Amino acid sequence: MELVTPEIGLVFWTSVSFFILFIILAKFAWKPIMGAISERERSIEDALLKAEAAKDEMARLTNENDTLLKQARAERDLILKEAKTLKDQIIAEAKETAQKEGARQIELARIEINNQKTIAMADVRNQVATLSLEIAEKVLHKQFEDQSKQDALVAELLKEVKL
Amino acid sequence: MYFSHVLKSKKIALSLILGVFLTFCTCKTFAIQPEHAAETEQPAHGEHAAEGEHEEAFNPSEVILEHIADSHSIHLWGTTSIALPVVLYTDKGLEVFSSANFEHGHKDFGGKYYTYRLVKDKVAIVEGADSLLPAATLLSLNKKLIDISITRNVVSMWMSMLIIFIIFLSVSSAYKKRQGKAPKGLQSFIEPIIMFVRDDIARPNIGYKYERFMPLLLTVFFFIWVNNLIGLVPFFPGGANLTGNIAVTFVLSLITLLVVNLNGNKYYWKHIFAPDVPVWLYPIMWPVELVGIISKPFALMIRLFANITAGHIIVLSLISLIFVFKAASVAFVSVPFVVFMDVLELLVAALQAFIFTLLTALFIGTAIEEHHH
């Protein structure tokens, strides 16, 4: 019976001591410890979430990079193709222009040549005429140095003239 | 081959040892009885007989009860002991004196107001030649003498509190110093236990409101555990049987009772005062429910007290066997059993702290549970 009879003294001291223990531990031990533990748990969870997010972001970026690369490549091809077309076009145009220009030049040259030829021919004709006249003059001069011949010719001409 | 296999089995080896031990015991008692008879018949024969006459007959139950119960002095070794202060709250006023004045109950002490005597390590007032008034207990209240002495259990409790303060304040400062870092040293030993209390005791039983009750649960858990462990130490810093004392378990379970009922919500009280039964049954239900309120913490009180006290009694009984048989050879058998019991008690120390905390959490959980129906 002694064993199961609570003594008031021990009940009193246990109550007082436990109360003090509880107050001190609650204030100086449990509060900071639980706070630190839950804080750390939260930060770990945060870090994990962030890592997950970073992984997703990374995957997204890689994806985006791939798409960008593909796009860039396609664009480059397009640009190259366009450039080539343009180049061909330019060359073709240049050729055409050159041809046209050449033809025009040739035409001009021909016209010029013709002109020059005509002028030259006219000139030559003039000179030939002058020359022929000079020659004829000289021949005539020579032929008619002799008076008799002049008379003979006049006579003959007169014969021809029928009045 | 078959037999050697059987002998290798640990269980069988253990039960064999126990069997041998028990037969040894019975043989010994049979052998001792006639010896004793012979000794008492023919005294004064040699040294041995003389010793037997001088020494009081060894009474194991007395020794065990003395060790289990509280005391006004701390026994160190031999006849050396520390006398503890006696604090008495009498109807005439407060009295404080050293328990050394009693000389272990051999002498009465005349205080300021009364003359006191130590009977079975408990203070009583000497009222007449043979009439004593024992100090008040919770079962026999009187206002004349209330003993609030600093007893062995109180000293032991204060030492345990000191240990708890040292451990947890240093752990707490470690948390402040190493904020956000992994635990280290003592901190990494304590943290899993705290996490265990939180994740396996508080959260599943109380629910999302567990945080409010964590300080109480942790304090109760570590208080019981540390004191259980200190109780296992047989010499000075230990030696007390604090958690095996009904007064201590009474206070602890009273705290549970108060916390549970002060936090009980309307569903809890509705369940007690207006349960889903016909109204004419209420007069029957109320006493039943009130008994339920009391019996839950009462079971906690008895469980912790009985478990720890039983462990101490078994260990002391095994040791007492050596003195009952007056044969040192018994030690070869009883000491291994004591070691076995001590190891078991280590488990029980943690287990009882766990169970007390778990049930407290469970009771709190049922009191604050929200009903949705």
- Which tens digit of pLDDT belongs to each residue from B36-55? 444 443 433 434 444 444 45
- pLDDT for position B13: 58
Mean pLDDT of the region B268-293: 87
Q: Let me know if residue B312 belongs to a domain.
A: yes
- pLDDT for position B32: 45
Are the Cβ atoms of B246 and A22 closer than 8 angstroms?
no
* Residue B306 tokens, joined: 């009985």
Residue B125 has pLDDT above 80, yes or no: yes
Residue A148 forms contact with B (CB below 8 Å):
no
Are the Cβ atoms of A3 and B309 closer than 8 angstroms?
yes
For residue B1, what pLDDT band results from cuts at 50, 70 and 90? very low
Closest residue by Cα to residue B258 from B228, B213, B198: B213
Phi, psi of B313 (to 5 degrees): -65, -40
Same-domain status, B279 and B132: no
Query: Which tops the pLDDT comparison, B344 or B274?
Result: B344
For residue B10, what pLDDT band results from cuts at 50, 70 and 90? low
- pLDDT for position B9: 60
Q: Let me know if residue B21 belongs to a domain.
A: yes
Domain boundary among B128, B149, B170: B149
Min Cα distance A77 → chain B (Å) is: 54
Q: Let me know if residue B196 belongs to a domain.
A: yes
Are the Cβ atoms of B247 and A39 closer than 8 angstroms?
no
Residue B113 forms contact with A (CB below 8 Å):
no
Residue A10 forms contact with B (CB below 8 Å):
yes
Residue B306 forms contact with A (CB below 8 Å):
no
Residues of B whose CB is below 8 A from A7: 70, 122, 135, 137-138, 147, 247
- pLDDT for position B359: 94
* Placement of tokens 């287990």 in the chain: B351
- Which tens digit of pLDDT belongs to each residue from A91-150? 999 999 999 999 999 999 999 999 998 999 898 889 888 988 888 888 888 877 778 888
The residue count for chain B: 373
Contact B247, A7 (CB under 8 A): yes
Are the Cβ atoms of B305 and A40 closer than 8 angstroms?
no
CA dihedral B166, B171, B177, B183 (to 10 degrees): 150
- Which tens digit of pLDDT belongs to each residue from B180-212? 777 888 888 999 999 999 999 999 999 888 889
- pLDDT for position B71: 85
Nearest residue, CB atoms, B247 vs list A10, A28, A34: A10
Same-domain status, B175 and B324: yes
Query: Which tops the pLDDT comparison, B61 or B306?
Result: B306
Same-domain status, B47 and B98: no
Residue A19 has pLDDT above 70, yes or no: yes
Phi, psi of B345 (to 5 degrees): -65, -30
CA gap A135, B314 in Å, rounded: 174
For residue B344, what pLDDT band results from cuts at 50, 70 and 90? very high
Nearest residue, CB atoms, A9 vs list B147, B180, B211: B147
- Weakest-pLDDT range from A55-64, A77-86, B92-101, B345-354: B92-101
Same-domain status, B23 and B98: no
User: Domains in chain B: how many in total?
Assistant: 3
Residue B11 has pLDDT above 90, yes or no: no
Percent of chain B scoring above 90 in pLDDT: 34
CA gap B123, B102 in Å, rounded: 10
Classified as helix, coil or strand, A5 is coil
* Placement of tokens 């000497």 in the chain: B126
- Which tens digit of pLDDT belongs to each residue from A66-99? 999 999 999 999 999 999 999 999 999 999 999 9
CA gap A17, A24 in Å, rounded: 11
Are the Cβ atoms of B247 and A11 closer than 8 angstroms?
yes
Q: How many CB atoms lie within 10 A of CB B208?
A: 7
For residue A1, what pLDDT band results from cuts at 50, 70 and 90? low
Are the Cβ atoms of A9 and B214 closer than 8 angstroms?
no
Q: Let me know if residue B339 belongs to a domain.
A: yes
Same-domain status, B27 and B142: no
Range of the domain at B19: 11-57
Radius of gyration, CA atoms only, chain B: 26
Min Cα distance B136 → chain A (Å) is: 7
Question: Residues of B numbered 227-266 whose beta carbons fall under 8 angstroms of chain A's beta carbons: which are they?
Answer: 245-248, 250-252, 255
For residue B340, what pLDDT band results from cuts at 50, 70 and 90? very high
First to last CA, chain A: 203
Contact B320, B63 (CB under 8 A): yes
Are the Cβ atoms of B154 and A36 closer than 8 angstroms?
no
Min Cα distance A50 → chain B (Å) is: 17
Q: What is the mean pLDDT of chain B?
A: 82
Q: Let me know if residue B359 belongs to a domain.
A: yes
Query: Which tops the pLDDT comparison, B22 or A74?
Result: A74
CA gap B190, B17 in Å, rounded: 38
Same-domain status, B27 and B163: no
- Which tens digit of pLDDT belongs to each residue from B209-246? 888 999 999 999 999 999 999 988 888 777 788 899 89
Classified as helix, coil or strand, B56 is coil
Q: Which residues neighbour A145 within 8 Å (Cβ) at sequence distance 6 or greater?
A: none
Same-domain status, B234 and B323: yes
Contact B363, B268 (CB under 8 A): no
Same-domain status, B317 and B188: yes
Residue B371 has pLDDT above 80, yes or no: no
- pLDDT for position B39: 41
- pLDDT for position B2: 52
How far is the CA of B244 from the CAs of B62, B241, B306, in angstroms?
A: 17, 5, 7
Helices (H) and strands (E) in chain B, counts: 12, 9
- pLDDT for position B69: 85
Same-domain status, B336 and B235: yes
Are the Cβ atoms of B194 and A33 closer than 8 angstroms?
yes
Q: Which residues neighbour B44 within 8 Å (Cβ) at sequence distance 6 or greater?
A: B50, B53
Are the Cβ atoms of A34 and B246 closer than 8 angstroms?
no
Query: Which tops the pLDDT comparison, B194 or B135?
Result: B194
CA gap B220, B201 in Å, rounded: 12
What ipTM score was computed for the predicted complex, to two decimals? 0.80
CA gap B37, A73 in Å, rounded: 114
Residues of A whose CB is below 8 A from B146: 8-9
Q: Let me know if residue B79 belongs to a domain.
A: no
Percent of chain B scoring above 70 in pLDDT: 84
Q: Let me know if residue B234 belongs to a domain.
A: yes
For residue B74, what pLDDT band results from cuts at 50, 70 and 90? confident
Packing angle of the helix pair B246-263, B214-232 (nearest 10 deg): 170
Q: Let me know if residue B73 belongs to a domain.
A: no
Same-domain status, B188 and B299: yes
CA gap B366, B264 in Å, rounded: 8
CA gap B356, B259 in Å, rounded: 14
Q: How many CB atoms lie within 10 A of CB A144?
A: 14
- pLDDT for position B62: 84
For residue B15, what pLDDT band results from cuts at 50, 70 and 90? low
Same-domain status, B306 and B168: yes
Alpha helices in chain B (DSSP H): 2-8, 10-41, 46-54, 60-68, 152-177, 186-196, 203-206, 214-232, 246-263, 266-273, 282-325, 330-368
Phi, psi of A129 (to 5 degrees): -60, -50
Same-domain status, B164 and B100: no
CA gap B353, B222 in Å, rounded: 7
Min Cα distance B366 → chain A (Å) is: 23
